[in-house]
Amino acid sequence: MVKRREFFGERIKSLRDAKGWTQEYLAEKMGISTQYLSGIERGKENPTFDMLMKFSDALKVEMWELFDFGHEKGPKELKEMLKWFASELPEEELKLAVKLLRALTR
């Protein structure tokens, strides 16, 4: 079973690959090191909310698309990922995440 951070990293890699971009190109575009991006894609790093916004901007996707795993993973894995995010986010970011989820479900 894929670890939770690996789950997110796979999605970032998938979005990057779809654009034909190298890790070096995306890292430069985001102002981060290639090593850090590689760590995120391998599930070794835990990106902050600010980093999620950078991914969204650099990849030119809505933030929710960073978490659009429906076509790649099953419902059980998706629920596990949501639980993990809820347990890891600081209170203010958790409140924002809940607002985003509410907006998506309306």
**46: phi > 0 → left, psi -120 to 50 → alpha, else beta; which?**
beta
What is the predicted pLDDT for the residue at 1? 39
* Tokens, residue 70: 């429906």
The residue range of the domain holding 11 is 4-105
What is the predicted pLDDT for the residue at 38? 98
CATH number of the structural domain spanning residue 96: 1.10.260.40
The phi, psi pair for 69, rounded to 5°, reads -95, 0
Per-residue pLDDT of the chain (106 residues; tens, 9 = 90+): 346 688 889 899 999 999 999 999 999 999 999 999 999 999 999 899 999 999 999 999 999 899 876 566 677 877 877 787 788 888 888 888 889 888 888 8
What is the predicted pLDDT for the residue at 58? 98
What is the predicted pLDDT for the residue at 70? 59
Structural domain count of the chain: 1
Query: Are 88 and 46 within 8 A, CB to CB?
Result: yes
